[in-house]
Amino acid sequence: MSKKPVLGKGLGALIPVYEGKEESLQNATYCGIDQIDPNPAQPRKSFDEEKLAALAETIRNRGILQPLVVRRKGGRYELIAGERRWRAAKLAGLERVPVVVREAEDEESLEISLLENLQREDLNPIEEARAYRHMLERLGLTQEDLARKIGKDRSSVANAVRLLQLPREIQEEVASGTISEGHARALLALTHPVEQMRAVALIKEKGLSVRDTERYVRQYKAGPRAGKGKGSTLDPDTQRVQDDLSNRLGMKVTIQKRGKGGRLLISYGSLEQLDRLCSLLLG
């Protein structure tokens, strides 16, 4: 199995590729595990507990074969790379761990931490997208620059980052694997969160494939246009109120005028949204 290419010009210098225990530990020093803080730029927000427990057992039996990479910060140490090993070592009950201390500014530490995570194959699509966005925003990179650093084409970066346009609830569904990245991309063609949440419910209920979801989205978008007739246009003031309410609530709001009165329809896409709406209305 071929090795993945080293990413980023600073990564190889700060995170050496170790061949064995003696070489990996020869330049390391030991510090108290409680002196180390996690990197706030870590894109991974969830760690598989079973895999972490398995790694902890390996560490109990064999120790840590590759040091953590840290930098000094505020009288303590901040992780640059190796948070899984650090967490597993804590589970294993280690009080001291081997570290390699590097001098790195905030931007360099951020780049290395994110690139080290992107080298791993088990980041979920949302974690990967957040890592991309973090690098684009914090490091001032263009999508083209980032694509070159990670060995992908620009469209892959762009498509990944677009997933973050979806509502938080849908991002969580993707992160947990309930729906796939392909499903999520299909949902981006829907313009309103309520429509997207309704589609997610259908995907889960009917077990729709990505192709089925794409077909559903096309049909859904075609349906309302075909059904629109005269009298459906709102005056600018009412349209603005409708849009403001939709944006404020995060739900689809429809105003239907009838003479001096009319109806106000609020569509919710999940029970969580219904609970939030009730809280807003009932105080």
The model's pLDDT over 86-137, given as tens digits with 9 standing for 90+, comes to 999 999 999 999 998 988 777 777 777 777 767 665 778 998 898 888 888 8
Percentages (nearest 5) of helix, strand, coil residues in the chain: 55, 15, 30
pLDDT tens digits, 60-70? 998 888 899 89
Q: 93 and 15 in one domain? A: yes
**What tokens does 165 get?**
């346009």
56-60, 82-86, 229-233: least confidently modelled range? 229-233
Most confident of 10-19, 175-184, 231-240: 175-184
pLDDT of residue 33: 95
Residue 128 in tokens: 């990967």
- From the candidates 83, 116, 128, 173, give the one annotated as an active-site residue: 83
Residue 20: is its pLDDT beyond 60? no
Tell me the sheet residues that pair with 256.
263
The answer to whether residues 247 and 180 belong to one domain is no
Does the pTM surpass 0.85? The reply is: no
Q: DSSP of 7-54, one letter per residue?
A: PSTTHHHHS----SHHHHHTT-EEEEGGGEE--TT-------HHHHHH
| DSSP line for 72-94 | EETTEEEEEE-HHHHHHHHHHT-
Q: Which of 56, 77, 104 is the last residue of a domain?
A: 104
Instruction: Tell me if residue 116 is catalytic.
Output: no
Tell me, yes or no, whether 194 and 264 share the same domain.
Answer: no
The answer to whether residue 89 sits within a structural domain is yes
Is there a single domain that holds both residue 15 and residue 100? yes
Instruction: Evaluate whether residue 46 is within a structural domain.
Output: yes
Task: Please tell me whether residues 219 and 175 are part of one structural domain.
Answer: yes
User: For residue 107, what are its two tokens?
Assistant: 């931007």
Q: Are residues 206 and 258 in the same domain?
A: no
Q: In the chain, pLDDT over 70 holds for what percent of residues?
A: 83
Number of domains in the chain: 3
- As beta bridge partners, residue 262 has 257
pLDDT at 150: 80
Q: 253 and 183: one domain?
A: no
CA nearest 70: which of 43, 100, 49, 39? 100
Q: List the domain range (segments joined by +) for residue 262.
A: 236-282
